[in-house]
Amino acid sequence: MLTLAIESSCDDTCAAVIKNRDMVLSNIVSNQFEVHAQFGGIVPELASRCHIESIWPVVQAALEKASTTLEDIDLIAATRGPGLVGSLLVGFTFAKALGLAKNIPCVGVDHMAGHLLSAFLCDTKPAFPYVALVVSGGNSSLFEVTDPLSYKQLGRTRDDAAGEAFDKIAKLLKLGYPGGPVVSQYAENGNPEAIKFPRSWLDPDKFDFSFSGLKTSVVNHVNKLQQKNQTIPIADICASFQQAVIDVLVEKSIKAVQASNYHTLVIGGGVASNKQLRQQLQKRCQQENISLFTPPPVYCTDNAAMIGLAGYYQHAKGNTVAPDTDVYPRSPLH
């Protein structure tokens, strides 16, 4: 069975071809960094327009890389939500139209489900049940995953997502977009203990996150230095900010695994490609006897391979979409 998968929920146009459940034959990503960089964040209308330009070439590239054609495709899986509606509509409508024209069944996939299952694209796969931490530009959530189609949210961010905080700090320090990779690069040369930024633990027995207070604290710190005409220690700010995010993500994830009585933690989402987060999670998981699964960065950031994988299960359940099935901006998994 060959699945053509399409993902366009935000600012990446992605297509992949998956054989059977999880064999990735191709996984193409076309990003829009240059378009959005000048604004320090994603401009939704520009994102939709870029998807329109990229969708067909990206799908063609995925088919070509997999050495196949549309004639051999058995299933089309496309992200139905959550995300930017204009962006979602491009990929999802394209998928439905292709399915109609070629008489191929089409399934709609929740973007979060893709992140929750992305570890299954790797050679060493986790066993159910497990806790998953999904941290990206739009989400910071903890889930219990009991089988490929059953997820229960344990907690989520009450304000900014972790990736959003990275992006806003990068904008404040004029480091460019997307913020995560560049902030973590600066952090490598900084002291994570140089500045005591706050950790927002909220209710210690709950698994919600909050990153807006941390962001405000960084803004205030930079403003004070500017008012005094002092040099901004960019590396130290990046390292101290990053450590404040990591401390909370690590400890809440460990607690969630222990509270669920599970022994496995899986991570996903763009922020999950952060080297320090991965290393520090690894260390804590070892201490607590928890098996940690860290998909490679290419399966953490937005990609269509994970949509093909999650789509496989939707199809097995018979969840095909109709021509008038709509996209949704907020996940029912929230």
- Applying CB under 6 A, does 81 fall inside the site for ligand KG4? no
Cis peptide bond N-terminal to 148, omega within 30: no
DSSP string over 248-288? HHHHHHHHHHHHHT--EEEEESGGGG-HHHHHHHHHHHHHT
Give least dist CB 276 to ligand KG4, A. Answer: 8
- Are 73 and 104 in contact by the 8 Å Cβ rule? The answer is yes
Among 92, 120, 130, 166, binds ligand KG4 (CB under 6 A): 166
Q: Crossing angle, helix 162-172 and helix 179-187, to 10 degrees?
A: 70
- Applying CB under 6 A, does 180 fall inside the site for ligand KG4? yes
Task: Considering only residues 216 through 275, tell me which ones interact with ligand KG4, judged by CB under 6 A.
Answer: 269-271, 273-274
- Applying CB under 6 A, does 137 fall inside the site for ligand KG4? yes
Q: Closest CB to ligand KG4 among 30 and 260? A: 30
Which positions ≥6 away from 65 have C-beta within 8 Å?
Answer: 17, 25, 26, 28
Q: Which structure tokens are listed for 229? A: 């005409």
- Applying CB under 6 A, does 301 fall inside the site for ligand KG4? yes
- Applying CB under 6 A, does 295 fall inside the site for ligand KG4? no
- Applying CB under 6 A, does 91 fall inside the site for ligand KG4? no
- Applying CB under 6 A, does 181 fall inside the site for ligand KG4? yes
- Applying CB under 6 A, does 155 fall inside the site for ligand KG4? no
Give least dist CB 156 to ligand KG4, A. Answer: 14
Give least dist CB 54 to ligand KG4, A. Answer: 16
- Are 12 and 302 in contact by the 8 Å Cβ rule? The answer is yes
Residue 92's nearest CA partner among 74, 108, 110 is: 108
Q: 319 in helix, strand or coil?
A: coil
Stretch that binds ligand KG4, among 134-142, 232-240, 288-296, 318-326 (CB under 6 A): 134-142
Count of alpha carbons within 13 angstroms of residue 101, beta-carbon side: 8
- Applying CB under 6 A, does 163 fall inside the site for ligand KG4? yes
Site size toward ligand KG4, by CB under 6 A: 20
Binding site for ligand KG4 (CB under 6 A): 10, 136-138, 163-164, 166-167, 178-181, 184, 269-271, 273-274, 301-302
